[in-house]
């Protein structure tokens, strides 16, 4: 279906998209001709250099591979390319390495263009036979590096065999110089061909081509054909398919026979065909475990069958007429009719004198078996064989073959058999061998094939069957006149559109779209074809959700297809094995309900209600969801006509909807594996029935629904991890709708539920906490009125305690979300009660919870799970801030806004792309918000200059190259400097290369800009020290800080401080670095050592203290630290050569480089002390730890 997909792809999309596809995929010509000529000419220079020859070959491969899909563009250039290489090959001065490299280039060209076309360009004169034969004789068949040479030489030899002279004329005198008889050329070629049929590389394929050309020569077939076939059959009979060696031998033998019977004359080969067929039957290759051998066996058998039958076109075949539009237009109408119709009498007369050999029945039987093979390549070959043979059979026998093919479409057969049957039908239809009288039998089977699917375990098979059925429809469009297909148009069009829109596999959807397009174009009878193709083109059907929810609605708007699409969803997709397809199906039914509301209410809904309490789990799940969606859709339609849903559906349906929960509960179907599907489905039903305002107020059913919701929240930890999020979402949505509709006048239930969910926040089960928090956030406004502080205190307490312990991360995330939801539903009132709204008294407390959550950096085995909480806190801050700014901006203090914006700026500079993008988008949302405008944003004007309005859409925060370019500009704003620098510290000292590269690049760019401003550098240094001091015991910041500090020192960012001895910044920085010398963290010690080496650039006492610290690290009790310190000190002295006196500089470097610093500590200490003396640093004293005496 590849060509069909290409055609279909060109029909849709807007002009820009189409142009982009065309420019990307369609080439106008061979644009690299000059470069290719240069590459081929350079072979003489590069062949001896392995690297150069490999580079040249790779470049040539890249150029040629561009033309894999349009190889015809190479045709005008192939001749001169071939001549350049053949000149090299024919030259006696060319060494073997150059010859092999040249043939490798020839093979690349041949692979792209195809050997059938390329081999025709080889020179094939008498003078070429002997040189090619001699060159081939000198090759080593076992050399795996030069197989391309042998492959191309065999193809060349195949062409030279076409010379019209008898080969014995080329032998001349057969006596050699030594007096021994020389072998004739005919025998030499045959010997070479036989030997290469047995090799394991691609030369075997070329040898089979050589056999097909050589053995069909008049002189060779008289003298050698019988002997060769005897040798071939002996080889086949003496091998098996158990060893790899025998498999290769069988492959070569079968290939050579298949090609020989393809190209040879029937009269020459007919006498041997029965013997070969008998040999194949005895060998039973159809039962081989090797797919390639089975394919070759089928290919050979069909060639034998064609040999048994005379080469004639069946006069009875259906002929639509000439396929060429130009030819049709040039012929008179009478000629077209005469060409398309063959008199019945003439057909019968031709068939009466036509005897069919008995072997044909065996051949057809073998091909029918091949249609059922487990490999596609075998089935495809068998299908083509059946098409070719049927075209030479009389009408009655051909009809029997068609009947046998139709027998493949039994539900007792496997998906492989259905696939083979579809391929065979497509071949028969394409060749005009499937008469219109058979269409009544064929079309229903094809329509079944378009929806064929068999469940196998946790998945299904049948996509290949559906794809092949689309191919059949495509071929029928080209094979039959519109009047022949007219009775079946509605069925075929509906089936193709159903596959186009509702098939799970994208290749089947696109194949069906292409087949529909072909039928619209060639038949012209498909209803609304052009309109549908515009909406359901190659690109549009690529997205499954778009197909189900949008394209299906458009197509169902045409009454010819509405009922068929709904029936398909009800019959085939509601019970689909894939849960995602079932859910999409129910949403599609919701969208399709306005197209046929009466049919949905009277027919579909009762069917779904029966399935909803049926035995099959998947059917039950899909049916419950469908009942929910259809009922809700009918309710929305009723609102337009002032009718309730109860007036639209029958009373029996209302009772059935009401009884679903109790039936499932009584059968205990909420338990176990099925409960994972039943609970969220039932919650969806509760939600939709509540939204549909079903008259169930005061009914005990409501208590049962509530019990199900509460029990699900309490038992969430028992479900599979992959389904927990979807279950929680369904439960929360159901609770919100249920409370809104049925609890408005029930204050007792309101009190009980709020207290119950607040108590759930203290549950030992994390998921129960999650569910309880989200449940509190989903409660309607009337339920939380008067209980706002009670709810917020419960959420705050859970966040504070669990964050301190580092547990219940997901629960904290959901609690933070719930805080914003509660505040939004409670509303804002500046002087209101804190129990009823967000007001002056509780706004600071709410912001305190959210801002504390912005500092959640909890990590576990999953990584930085605190990012979930931080991202939820950012979203909640945005919602609360915009609500307060819009309702009561006077309660929003400048301090709260400043803390919010600074925390967002910090998160916008951190290392996780997703979190950075989330924070950045919220930062810009608050900054540029005008309705409402957020008050008290620090440095608003400067921020608007840094982030103009267009950055809200153009700035990609996920890309470090873009984000840090803007965020580092905040370092110049005093209010944002500390938080921004804290975020940048983690990014510059991180491990992600792109983040480190761009964050450091823009940080250093900012620092270079303030080098001349002493006050700005001093302020930056003070901020740096504050961050360092505050995070000394925080490894998340301290280790990246040391790495960033090392980069800053190496780049001379603090050069302004080096002009003054013992600058306070340098002294304080050193004192803070010294805090790490007692740590046992290797990575921290390494980073600290690098920082010390950078601090050496500062003059005065700082340098002496730094050297003292480094020399102490040379005797650290960790050998790896000693080795790292010595290595970095060596680099330090190379950089700052004034650290040691010139007289001892060489000695110092020799000791640092030559000493084994991982050896015994006592030996190392001697070298360290020597370094102390040379560098003028007091020797560190060893402090003996005195044992503590027992009291």
* DSSP secondary structure string for all residues of 960-982: HHHHHHHHGGGGGSHHHHHHHHH
pLDDT band at 503 (very low <50, low <70, confident <90, very high): very high
Reduce the DSSP state of residue 508 to 3 states and report it: helix
Residue 455 has pLDDT above 90, yes or no: no
Dihedral angle of Cα 536, 541, 546, 548, to the nearest 10 degrees: 80
Is the pLDDT higher at 591 or at 1033? 591
The arithmetic mean of pLDDT across residues 1093-1107, rounded, is 86
Mean pLDDT value across residues 318-323: 68
With a CB cutoff of 8 Å and minimum separation 6, the contacts of 956 are 917, 962, 963
Alpha helices, H only, 114-215:
115-118, 126-137, 147-160, 185-196, 203-214
Residue 46 has pLDDT above 60, yes or no: yes
Nearest one of 8, 38, 164, 149 to 89, comparing CA atoms: 149
pLDDT in the model for residue 493: 95
Indicate left, alpha or beta for 1110 from its phi (over 0: left) and psi (-120 to 50: alpha): alpha
Q: How confident is the model at residue 2 (pLDDT cuts 50, 70, 90)?
A: very low
515 with 473: CB under 8 angstroms?
Answer: yes
Residue 10 has pLDDT above 70, yes or no: no
Helix then strand count (H, E) for the chain reads 66, 2
Within 13 Å, how many C-alpha atoms sit on residue 756's CB side? 16
pLDDT in tens, 508-524: 999 999 999 999 998 88
Average pLDDT taken over every residue of the chain = 88
- Give whole-number Cα distances, 389 to 264, 309, 385, 405, in Å: 17, 8, 6, 13
**Which of the four pLDDT bands, split at 50, 70 and 90, describes residue 176?**
low
Identify whether the C-beta of residue 709 lies closer than 8 Å to the C-beta of residue 731: yes
d(CA 668, CA 678): 11
Structure tokens at 67: 């033309």
Alpha-carbon dihedral 624, 625, 630, 636, rounded to 10 degrees: 120
| Distance (Å, whole) CA 15 – CA 232 | 58
Q: pLDDT band for 673, please (50, 70, 90 cuts).
A: confident
pLDDT at 603: 95
Indicate whether 1114 pLDDT > 70. yes
Between CA 965 and CA 943 the distance in angstroms is 14
Contact, 502 vs 569, CB < 8 A? yes
The predicted pLDDT at position 1183 comes to: 64
Question: Mean pLDDT, to the nearest integer, of 1004-1012?
Answer: 90
Query: Residue 880: pLDDT band by 50, 70, 90 thresholds?
Result: very high
Q: What is the mean pLDDT of residues 890-896?
A: 93
Token output for 1103: 């340098």
Q: Is the pLDDT of residue 1047 over 60?
A: yes
pLDDT above 70 as % of the chain: 93
* pLDDT at residue 564 tops 70: yes
Whether residue 21 is predicted with pLDDT greater than 50 in this model: the reply is no
Q: Which two tokens stand for residue 151?
A: 């492959």
Instruction: Determine whether 617 is exposed, middle or buried from the number of CB atoms within 10 Å of its CB (0-12, 13-18, 19+).
Output: middle
Q: Quote the Cα angle for 380-386-388, to 5°.
A: 105
Structure-token match 């002493």, residue found:
1014
Tell me the average pLDDT across 994-1003.
94
Is the pLDDT assigned to residue 331 strictly greater than 80? no
Query: Residue 1151: is its pLDDT beyond 70?
Result: yes
CA 367 vs CA 370, 376, 410, 424: distances in Å = 5, 14, 18, 10
Asked if residue 348 has pLDDT above 70, the reply is: no
Closest by Cα among 293, 463, 269, 289 to 378: 293
Whether pLDDT at 827 is above 90? yes
pLDDT level of residue 295 (50, 70, 90 thresholds): very high
Enter the DSSP assignment of 456: E
pLDDT exceeds 90 at position 326: no
- List pLDDT tens digits, range 943-964: 999 999 999 999 999 999 999 9
Tokens 């060319």 belong to residue: 94
Per-residue pLDDT, averaged over 600-608, amounts to: 95
Give the model's pLDDT for residue 14.
Answer: 41
Integer Cα distance of 499 and 509 in angstroms: 6
- Kindly state the average pLDDT of the residues 39-53: 90
| Residue carrying the six token digits 């061998």 | 433
Q: Does the pLDDT at position 541 exceed 90?
A: yes
Question: 728-751 burial string, b = 16+ CB within 10 Å, else e?
Answer: bebbbbbbbbbbbbbbeebeebbe
455 has which bridge partners?
Answer: 460
How far is C-alpha 271 from the geometric centre of its chain's CA atoms? Answer: 55
Question: Within 10 Å of residue 27's Cβ, how many Cβ atoms?
Answer: 12
Proportion of the chain above pLDDT 90, given as a percent: 65
5 has pLDDT over 90 = no
Helices (H), 201-352: 203-214, 218-223, 225-237, 244-263, 266-269, 273-283, 291-308, 325-330, 333-340, 344-352
Q: How confident is the model at residue 343 (pLDDT cuts 50, 70, 90)?
A: very low
Where residue 1189 falls among pLDDT bands split at 50, 70, 90? very low
pTM of the model: 0.82
Asked if the model's pLDDT at residue 299 lies above 90, the reply is yes
> CA-to-CA distance for 1028 and 989, rounded, in angstroms?
13
The reported pLDDT for the residue numbered 324 is: 54
List the end-to-end C-alpha distance of the chain, in Å, as a whole number.
91
Q: For tokens 């479409």, what's the residue? A: 409
Local structure of 493: helix, strand or coil: helix
């Amino acid at each position: 279906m590849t060509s069909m997909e290409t055609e279909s792809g060109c029909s849709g999309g807007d002009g820009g998209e189409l142009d982009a596809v065309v420019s990307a995929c369609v080439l106008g010509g061979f644009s690299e001709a000059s470069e290719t000529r240069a590459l081929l000419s350079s072979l003489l220079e590069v062949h001896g250099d392995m690297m150069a020859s490999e580079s040249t070959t790779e470049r040539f491969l890249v150029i040629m591979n561009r033309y894999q899909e349009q190889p015809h563009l190479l045709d005008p250039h192939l001749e001169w390319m071939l001549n350049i290489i053949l000149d090299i090959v024919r030259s006696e001065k060319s060494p073997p390495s150059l010859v092999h490299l040249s043939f490798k280039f020839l093979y690349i060209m041949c692979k792209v263009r195809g050997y059938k076309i390329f081999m025709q360009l080889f020179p094939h004169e008498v003078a070429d036979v002997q040189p090619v034969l001699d060159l081939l004789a000198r090759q080593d068949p076992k050399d795996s590096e030069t197989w391309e040479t042998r492959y191309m030489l065999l193809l060349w030899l195949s062409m030279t065999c076409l010379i019209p002279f008898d080969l014995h004329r080329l032998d001349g005198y057969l006596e050699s110089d030594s007096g021994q008889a020389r072998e004739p050329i005919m025998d030499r070629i045959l010997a070479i061909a036989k030997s290469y049929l047995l090799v394991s590389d691609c030369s075997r394929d070329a040898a089979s081509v050589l056999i097909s050309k050589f053995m069909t020569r008049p002189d060779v077939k008289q003298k050698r054909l019988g002997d060769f076939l005897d040798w071939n059959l002996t080889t086949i009979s003496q091998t098996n398919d158990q060893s790899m060696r025998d498999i290769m031998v069988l492959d070569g033998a079968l290939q050579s026979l298949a090609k020989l019977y393809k190209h040879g004359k029937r009269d020459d080969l007919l006498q041997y065909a029965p013997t070969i067929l008998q040999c194949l039957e005895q060998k039973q290759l159809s039962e081989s475990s090797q797919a390639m051998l089975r394919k070759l066996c089928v290919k050979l058998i069909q060639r034998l069958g064609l040999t048994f039958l005379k080469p004639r076109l069946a006069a009875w075949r259906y002929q639509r007429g000439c396929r060429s539009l130009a030819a049709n237009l040039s012929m008179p109408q009478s000629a077209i009719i005469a060409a398309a119709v063959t008199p019945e009498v003439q057909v019968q007369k031709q068939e009466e004198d036509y005897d069919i050999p008995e072997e044909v029945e065996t051949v057809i039987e073998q091909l029918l078996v091949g249609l059922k093979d487990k490999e596609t390549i075998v089935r495809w070959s068998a299908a083509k064989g059946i098409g070719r043979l049927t075209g030479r059979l009389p009408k009655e026998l051909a009809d029997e073959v068609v009947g046998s093919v139709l027998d493949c479409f039994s539900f007792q057969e496997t998906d492989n058999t259905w696939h083979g049957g579809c391929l065979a039908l497509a071949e028969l239809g394409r060749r005009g061998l499937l008469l219109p009288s058979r269409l009544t039998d064929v079309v229903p089977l094809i329509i079944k094939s378009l929806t064929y699917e068999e469940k196998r375990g946790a998945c299904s098979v049948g996509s290949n069957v559906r794809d092949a059925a689309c191919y059949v429809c495509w071929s029928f469009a080209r094979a039959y006149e519109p009047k022949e297909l007219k009775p079946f148009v509605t069925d075929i069009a509906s089936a193709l559109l159903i596959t186009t829109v509702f098939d799970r596999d994208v290749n089947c959807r696109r194949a069906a779209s292409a087949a529909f397009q072909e039928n619209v174009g060639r038949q012209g009878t498909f209803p609304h074809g052009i309109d549908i193709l515009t909406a359901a083109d190659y690109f549009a059907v690529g997205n499954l959700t778009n197909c189900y929810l949008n394209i299906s609605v458009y197509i169902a708007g045409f009454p010819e297809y509405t009922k068929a699409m709904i029936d398909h969803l009800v019959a085939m997709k509601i019970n689909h094995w894939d849960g995602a397809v079932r859910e999409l199906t129910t949403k599609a039914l919701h969208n399709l309900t306005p197209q046929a509301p009466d049919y949905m209410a009277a027919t579909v809904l009762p069917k779904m209600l029966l399935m909803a309490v049926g035995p099959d789990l998947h059917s039950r799940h899909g049916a419950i969801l469908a009942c929910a969606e259809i009922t809700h859709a009918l309710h929305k339609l009723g609102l337009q006509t002032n009718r309730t849903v109860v007036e639209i559906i029958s009373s029996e349906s209302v009772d059935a909807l009401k009884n679903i929960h109790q039936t499932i509960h009584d059968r205990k179907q909420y338990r176990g594996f099925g409960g994972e599907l039943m609970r969220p489905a039932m919650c969806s039903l509760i939600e939709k029935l509540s939204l549909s305002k079903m008259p169930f107020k005061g009914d005990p059913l409501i208590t049962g629904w509530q019990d199900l919701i509460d029990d699900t929240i309490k038992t969430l930890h028992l479900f599979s991890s992959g389904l927990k999020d979807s279950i929680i979402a369904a439960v929360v949505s159901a609770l919100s709708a249920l409370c809104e509709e049925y609890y408005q006048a029930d204050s007792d239930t309101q009190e009980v539920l709020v207290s119950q969910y607040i108590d759930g926040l203290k549950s030992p089960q994390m998921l129960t906490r999650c569910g309880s928090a989200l449940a509190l956030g989903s409660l309607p406004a009337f339920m939380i009125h008067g209980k706002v502080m009670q709810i917020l205190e419960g959420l705050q307490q859970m966040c504070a305690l669990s964050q301190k312990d580092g547990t219940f991360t997901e629960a904290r995330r959901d609690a933070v979300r719930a805080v914003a939801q509660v505040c939004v539903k409670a509303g804002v009132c500046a002087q209101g009660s804190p129990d009823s709204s967000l007001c002056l008294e509780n706004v600071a407390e709410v912001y305190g919870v959210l801002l504390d959550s912005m500092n959640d950096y909890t990590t576990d085995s999953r990584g930085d799970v605190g990012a979930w909480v931080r991202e939820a806190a950012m979203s909640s801050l945005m919602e609360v801030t915009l609500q307060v700014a819009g309702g009561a901006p006077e309660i929003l203090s400048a301090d709260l806004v400043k803390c919010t914006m600074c925390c967002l700026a910090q998160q916008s500079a951190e290392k996780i792309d997703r979190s950075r993008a989330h924070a950045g988008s919220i930062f810009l949302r608050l900054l540029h918000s005008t309705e409402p405008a957020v008050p008290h944003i620090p440095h608003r004007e400067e921020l608007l200059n840094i982030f103009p309005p267009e950055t809200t859409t153009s700035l990609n925060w996920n890309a470090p190259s873009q984000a840090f370019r803007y965020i580092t500009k905040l370092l110049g704003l005093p209010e944002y400097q500390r938080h921004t620098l804290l975020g940048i510290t983690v990014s510059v000292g991180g491990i992600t290369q792109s983040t480190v590269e761009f964050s450091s690049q823009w940080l250093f760019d900012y620092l270079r800009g303030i080098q001349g401003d002493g006050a700005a550098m001093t302020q930056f240094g003070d901020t740096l020290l504050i961050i360092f001091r505050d995070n000394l015991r925080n490894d998340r910041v301290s280790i990246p800080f040391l790495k960033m500090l090392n980069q800053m020192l190496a780049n001379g960012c603090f050069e302004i401080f080096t002009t003054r001895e013992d600058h306070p910044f340098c002294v304080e920085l050193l004192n803070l670095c010294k805090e790490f010398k007692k740590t046992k963290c290797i990575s921290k010690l390494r980073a600290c050592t690098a920082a010390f080496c950078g601090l050496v650039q500062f003059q005065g006492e700082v340098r002496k203290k730094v050297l003292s610290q480094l020399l102490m690290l040379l005797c650290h009790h960790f050998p790896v630290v000693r080795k790292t310190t010595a290595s970095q000190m060596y680099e330090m002295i190379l950089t700052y050569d004034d650290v040691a006196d010139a007289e001892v500089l060489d000695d110092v470097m020799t000791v640092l480089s030559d000493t084994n610093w991982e050896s015994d500590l006592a030996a190392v200490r001697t070298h360290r002390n020597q370094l102390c003396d040379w560098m003028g640093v007091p020797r560190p004293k060893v402090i003996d730890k005195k044992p503590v005496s027992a009291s």
